């Protein structure tokens, strides 16, 4: 980030102050680019009127320019990039959807990519480079300035989705014997320090962090006070190899704005700020729904073939569990042929059971993901879900039992479906809580595999209990 | 927040600095309280050894003390609160799960609640008071100091889940003619200002915000420079009645640390900081999975009866859609009675179709929630989902068609199930994208109602197409 931000924007950018962000004409009430605006820009690009396109796009925030590219059809993105190339800067790339960015970056030569990466903080530069193919990655790294190159190479040496990839190396660290005045002078005199920080870190002679100091505390303290008297000694340190989901949970739990990242020896190697974590919190929390449904990354910008590959695998697995259910039904073909109504009623038992299982599973998966469900309250949670299942089961069983008994004038059929429904909702509740818990215990991601197993249980058991009771109760002779 | 934070912690709290947070004995590798620790505390409480319990709990971070209460069985929470009452301060309540907090607050008298609320920033105080019953709320408000009372009453006058509830009124606003030096002097001299800020706001004579200034810029600028030359003029202003989900999206999109909240006349009335928004981002993103499954609030601390009420409603709705499917099957009872194998195979078509619909629906709901799917790319997204459905449909149809033809030595049966599967996966893809889009257009929450409609489509159409084809193709005579 450059020092431009220390100065007021140039006159062309000036705004009336009572209004937020870009001009009203481009954004709707929900802060999304209006379709008319997007098509106006693309029309000008198509007509070769780059000037006109630039005039429209220039007032936008980088995040909105990134959105503009996402909303542009894939085949027109490169023409748009060419038309407004001087507005397509590093900040815009940092805000862009991964797939869209990859597509645009592919069209650039390594020197252009290196120029963009050189302008960004380490974390954003790494985000752009990490998904490139190895040859292209090497070419970009060669084209970078030596410092930037070393910083990015080091970041790439940490595992994907770890704190090491997420952190920026640009931070403010000061020795413990300094005063507040020393810190102020240091910050004012060194123009090339980052401006993107909210806390400073105090380190010992071995560069190990011993405290952190919010900028508001420094601002409110006289120059003569020692920084070690202002800093907070307890701070949350992030190991460089910590998984990003874990990092996000710490930020959330302890309401952090920034945190020091330390290597295996406890030395300060970087800093993570909350604005980088916000994306991860959103992604990780939103991901569970996509994982549970087997929709892979579930990004609407993902290439069709990639979506197909991740989704079809899941559908085939689902086909397997459906075959188990079909096999169970086929064992009762004799029973069904004597009373075909059973075939019409059996999906009700399986379907409502499946739904009850999904409810419990969703609650359990979220509680595990947010660290709310731990060993201390496992048994309590299981008992709780059984109670809810019991209440749900009795209610739904009563409704369906009475309904079927009346419609078919067959009390015994009503009793059989009510008993099967109650049993299946109880099975669903147990499966919905025990399956995710077991997967978590086995160090598997409960969001990924739970729903296949839960559906298999509720389908198979639903058919088995209903048809089995119908057959054993003497309803069908 | 008090000025205590400006001083180093008392000697008893001191830590070795290379270690983060509470002692190793209380937390596991995932930063959750160990079950042994929880039971050790509760044992001491039960034995009446409050001293011992306090000694264990004292080193914990407020967020961990809050977790301790959540992990304690409901019937033992009040005894724990009594034993460690002096550690149960405002910060702990601010971190606590809503249900657990409500339960504890119910046991306190209004004066005790007022004392806790008085220590908190407005947003946290409001979070504690807003869920109380009206009588209790009035009693607490009466017991508050007049300033605090006015601030909280004003906050409560804004709608639930709006920016007005979320904001704190404690903020730093300075006039535009001040210099950096004036700002520093003001901050150093006024001890009772908040310490919880990351930016200061510059206001005109009508108290309207005209710029914002990150603390790092102030720290890096000489005293003589005018604040209006350092501040950034473009800033995201949050209207006081904006929905909290919208607030969270703005923070995320523009990578904000804090933002000014303005009233209808554009006057600065409060500030929202990112640490308050992080919880909302997490909740809102995680909520969709609970909504889609019909699990209500889906909190494991919710009372059983509340969970029952929200879930059973959904199961009854699901029973309704299952009845539609059952009615369709009953139309084909004649066909099934001639070939009972159809009854065993039909749930496969419906089930895999349902899964394909859930995948598309999850992707669409997430894209809508994150503002990625707008009018500009609606048609593109629909076409994309049809292409994915086509590929999935052909693959799954081929597998099941060939499999059934071989197992039953019946080519025609294989052809019928393959055609039905292809058709149902296409229907599922269309329903999965069109139903959430339609609900969004109608200003309904796509996450809440989509899955009932999608399941109804894939179940009913699955049975209809499969049994209809079996009957019409002459497979069954």
pLDDT in tens, B290-332: 888 888 878 888 889 999 999 999 999 999 999 999 999 999 9
Phi, psi at B239, each rounded to 5°:
-65, 140
Please write the tens of the pLDDT for every residue from B31-40: 889 999 999 9
Q: Do B246 and A30 touch (CB under 8 A)?
A: yes
CB contact under 8 A, A286 and B288: yes
Each residue's pLDDT tens digit, A155-180: 899 998 899 998 988 899 999 999 99
Q: For the domain A3-165, what is the CATH code?
A: 1.25.60.10
B46-49's contacts with Cβ under 8 Å and 24+ in sequence apart are B46/B76, B46/B79
For chain A positions 161-220, those within 8 Å of chain B (CB to CB) are 184, 187-188, 193, 195-198, 204, 208-211, 214-220
- Residue-level pLDDT at B24: 54
What pLDDT digit, counting tens, does each position of B431-455 carry? 999 999 999 999 888 888 888 899 9
CA distance A193 to A81: 31
Using the predicted structure, report yes or no on whether residue B190 has a pLDDT greater than 90: no
Measured between CB atoms, does A230 come within 8 Å of chain B?
Answer: yes
A372 shares contact with chain B (CB less than 8 Å): yes
Question: Could you tell me where in chain A the CATH 1.10.357.20 domains are found?
Answer: 303-472
CATH node for A173-275? 3.10.580.10
Is the Cβ of B324 closer than 8 Å to some Cβ of chain A?
Answer: no
In Å, how far is B135's CA from the nearest CA of chain A? 31
Indicate the SS3 state at residue B9: coil
Tokens of A429: 């509740």
Helix then strand then coil, % of chain B, to nearest 5:
65, 10, 25
| pLDDT reading at B144 higher than 50 | yes
Does A343 reach chain B within 8 Å, measured CB to CB? Answer: yes
**C-alpha–C-alpha distance, residues B32 and A375, integer Å:** 10
Coil/strand/helix, residue B131: coil
Residue B109: the pLDDT is: 85
Nearest CA in chain A to B302: A384
Q: Which residues of chain B are within 8 Å of residue A61 when distances are taken between CB atoms?
A: 234, 254
At B196-208, the pLDDT tens digits run 899 999 999 999 9
Nearest-by-Cβ selection for A300 from B266, B359, B367: B367
Looking at the DSSP bridge assignments, the partners of residue B211 are B202
Please judge whether A219 and B32 are an interchain contact, meaning their C-beta atoms are less than 8 angstroms apart: no
CB-nearest to B254 from A32, A63, A375 is A63
- pLDDT tens profile A182-203: 999 999 888 888 778 999 999 9
B3-161 CATH, one of 2.60.40.10, 3.40.50.150, 1.25.60.10, 1.10.490.10: 1.25.60.10
Please tell me the predicted confidence (pLDDT) of residue B162: 93
Please say if the pLDDT value at position B91 is more than 70: yes
Give just the sign of the alpha carbon dihedral A258, A195, B217, B254.
Answer: negative
Q: Which fold does the domain B173-291 belong to in CATH? A: CBS-domain (3.10.580)
CB contact under 8 A, B343 and A336: yes
Q: According to CATH, where is 1.25.60.10 located in chain B? A: 3-161
Interface test with B, best of A29, A343, A418, A451 (most B CBs within 10 A): A343
Interface residue A373 vs chain B (CB under 8 A): yes
CB A261 within 8 A of CB A269: yes
Contact indicator for B241, B139 with CB cutoff of 8 Å = no
Inter-chain residue contact A377 with B70, CB threshold 8 Å: yes
Provide, as residue numbers in chain A, all residues whose Cβ is less than 8 Å from the Cβ of B220.
6, 187-188, 193, 195
Angle of helix A62-71 versus helix A74-83 axis, rounded to 10: 140
Please list the pLDDT of chain A residue by residue as tens digits (477 residues): 333 333 333 333 333 333 334 445 788 888 889 999 999 999 999 999 999 999 999 999 999 999 999 999 988 998 999 899 889 888 898 888 888 988 888 888 888 888 888 888 888 888 888 888 888 888 889 988 898 898 889 889 999 889 999 898 889 999 999 999 999 999 988 888 877 899 999 999 999 999 999 999 998 888 999 999 999 998 899 999 999 989 998 998 888 999 999 999 999 999 999 988 888 888 888 888 888 888 887 888 888 999 999 999 999 999 999 999 999 999 999 999 999 999 999 999 999 999 999 999 999 999 998 889 999 999 999 999 999 999 999 999 999 999 999 999 999 999 999 999 999 999 999 999 999 999 999 988 888 888 889 999 999 999 999 999 999 998 887
**Domain at B303-472: CATH code:** 1.10.357.20
* Closest Cβ opposite residue B30 in set A246, A360, A367: A246
Cβ(B458)–Cβ(B424) under 8 Å? yes
How far does A132 lie from chain B, in Å, by closest CA?
A: 23
Probe site for chain A from B201, B255, B368 (most A CB atoms < 10 A): B255
* Half-sphere exposure in the Cβ direction for B379 (13 Å, CA): 4
Residues of chain A found within 8 Å of residue B366, distances taken between Cβ atoms: 286, 289-290, 298
The predicted pLDDT at position A24 comes to 53
CB-based contact (8 Å) between B424 and chain A? no
Closest chain B residue to the Cα of A357, Cα to Cα: B293
Task: Kindly determine whether residue A215 and residue B215, on different chains, have CB atoms separated by under 8 Å.
Answer: yes
| Record: contact B374-A255, CB cut-off 8 A | no
111-170 of A, contacting B, C-beta below 8 A: none
Whether residue A282 and residue B279 make contact (CB cut-off 8 A), yes or no, is no
CB within 8 Å: A221 and B188: yes
Any B CB within 8 A of A386 CB = no
Query: For the purposes of burial, counting CB atoms within 10 Å of the CB of B417, is it exposed (0-12), middle (13-18) or buried (19 or more)?
Result: buried
pLDDT above 50 for B23: no
pLDDT for the residue B4:
38
């Amino acid at each position: 980030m450059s020092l431009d931000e220390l100065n007021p924007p140039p006159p062309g950018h000036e705004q009336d102050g009572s209004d937020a962000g870009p001009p009203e004409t481009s954004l709707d009430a929900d802060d999304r680019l209006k379709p008319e605006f997007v098509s106006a820009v693309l029309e000008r690009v198509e007509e070769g009127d780059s000037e006109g396109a630039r005039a429209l796009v220039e007032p936008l925030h980088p995040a909105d320019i990134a959105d503009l590219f996402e909303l542009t059809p894939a085949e027109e993105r490169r023409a748009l990039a060419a038309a407004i190339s001087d507005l397509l800067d590093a900040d815009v790339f940092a805000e862009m959807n991964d797939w869209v960015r990859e597509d645009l970056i592919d069209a650039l030569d390594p020197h252009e990519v290196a120029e963009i990466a050189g302008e960004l903080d380490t974390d954003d530069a790494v985000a752009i480079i990490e998904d490139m193919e190895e040859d292209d990655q090497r070419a970009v790294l060669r084209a970078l300035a030596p410092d930037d190159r070393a910083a990015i190479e080091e970041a790439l040496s940490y595992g994907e989705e770890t704190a090491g990839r997420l952190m920026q190396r640009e931070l403010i660290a000061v020795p413990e014997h300094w005063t507040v005045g020393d810190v102020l002078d240091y910050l004012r005199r060194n123009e090339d320090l980052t401006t993107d920080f909210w806390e400073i870190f105090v380190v010992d002679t071995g560069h190990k962090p011993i405290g952190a100091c919010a900028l508001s505390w420094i601002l409110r303290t006289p120059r003569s006070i020692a920084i070690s008297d202002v800093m907070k000694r307890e701070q949350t340190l992030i190991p460089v190899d910590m998984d990003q989901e874990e990092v996000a949970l710490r930020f959330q739990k302890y309401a952090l704005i920034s945190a020091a990242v330390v290597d295996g020896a406890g030395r300060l190697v970087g800093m993570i700020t909350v604005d980088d974590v916000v994306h991860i919190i959103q992604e990780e929390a939103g991901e569970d729904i996509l994982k549970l449904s087997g929709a892979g990354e579930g990004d609407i910008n993902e290439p069709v073939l990639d979506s197909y590959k991740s989704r079809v695998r899941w559908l085939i697995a689902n086909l397997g569990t459906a075959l188990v259910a079909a096999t169970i039904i086929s064992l009762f073909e004799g029973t069904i042929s004597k009373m075909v109504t059973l075939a019409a009623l059996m999906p009700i038992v399986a379907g409502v059971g499946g739904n009850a299982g999904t409810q419990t599973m969703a609650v359990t998966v979220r509680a595990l993901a947010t660290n709310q469900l731990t060993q201390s309250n496992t048994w309590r949670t299981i008992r709780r879900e059984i109670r809810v299942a019991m209440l749900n089961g009795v209610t739904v069983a009563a409704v369906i039992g009475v309904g079927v008994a009346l419609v078919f004038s067959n009390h015994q059929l009503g009793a059989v479906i009510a008993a099967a429904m109650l049993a299946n909702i109880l099975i669903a509740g147990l499966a919905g809580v025990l399956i995710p818990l077991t997967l978590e215990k086995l160090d598997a991601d409960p969001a990924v595999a739970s729903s296949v197993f839960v559906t298999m249980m509720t389908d198979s058991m639903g058919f088995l209990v209903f048809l089995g009771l119908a057959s054993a109760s003497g309803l069908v002779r």
